[in-house]
Amino acid sequence: MRRDEALDALERAETVGRRAHDRGRWYMLFAVLFSAATFTLTVTIGLFPTTTTIFTAMAVYLVLLTCLITFALRQPVQPRGYGWLHGLAMLGWGAVYGVTLFVGYAFFPEDPAWWVSGAALGTVPPMVAGWLAVRRNRSAA
Amino acid sequence: MNHPRGMLDDVIHSPVRFSVVAALAAVDRAEFRFVRDTVEVTDSALSKQVTVLENAGYVRVHKVAVGRRTRTSLSLSEEGRTAFEQHVRALRDIASGEAVRPPGDG
């Protein structure tokens, strides 16, 4: 193989790798929308804990979640590290959400400082996962 | 000293297979049709090359039934990733005009 052939092959690998990587950027959008939905849900059910509000917020959230899951399942590419990134993001979010909910209802009912902080903290794991999925090396080439 | 072309992987060396592996190296998993469009080959051409890569243990083929259709996706095995990285290193050495020492050659 000649030098120019090697350069051509490397350039081709870079181009194809970049295309594939860029198609995995949907996960950042997923993370942003999921974070926005979960932030709104947490703040709503924490600051306005009536049966009607909780029921309505949960119903809207479930519809949004179904749309997000459908969107994710229809994507042709899973970004690098998707499995463990998404798994850790959901575990992290679940832990923060659980603590915010149970501790909040027990000790800080309708306290904006607690609920807004908890809701904001819950967006960190998915946002970090989305950012990591986007910034990872495009390819080994 | 050896010429780095000796480090090139025979399975990955084909342009189409190299492009397929390069695309898969950048992701965890990609659908067959996405790889086909990205590499710009026909279904049958991609199928043939994927079979070669699968037989070499470099690529895994995943089939999931979605309604009446089967959704096929591809991923790179660890062995395939290692082979791709070594192949790319060899290409870089060739591109830079470097010769490589074989392992154990003091």
Q: What CATH number is associated with residue B86? A: 1.10.10.10
In a domain, B106, yes or no: no
Of B19, B24, B25, nearest to A12 by CB-CB distance is B19
Task: Give tens-digit pLDDT for A36-76.
Answer: 999 999 999 999 999 999 999 999 999 999 999 999 999 99
Domain region containing B19 = 4-90
Task: Give tens-digit pLDDT for B39-96.
Answer: 999 999 999 999 999 999 999 999 998 888 899 999 999 999 999 999 999 999 999 8
Task: Give tens-digit pLDDT for A11-45.
Answer: 999 999 999 999 999 999 999 999 999 999 999 99
A134 touches chain B (CB under 8 A): no
**Rounded to the nearest 5 degrees, what angle is found at the Cα of A44, between the Cα atoms of A39 and A48?**
155
A81 touches chain B (CB under 8 A): yes
Q: How many domains is chain B partitioned into structurally?
A: 1
Contact between chains at A19 and B38 (C-beta distance less than 8 A): yes
In a domain, B103, yes or no: no
The CA-atom distances, in angstroms, between A26 and each of A9, A38, A77, A130, B20 are 28, 18, 9, 9, 21
Decide if B30 contacts B104 (C-beta within 8 A). no
Chain centre distance of CA A38: 10
CA distance B42 to A115: 54
Interface test with B, best of A19, A73, A77, A85 (most B CBs within 10 A): A77
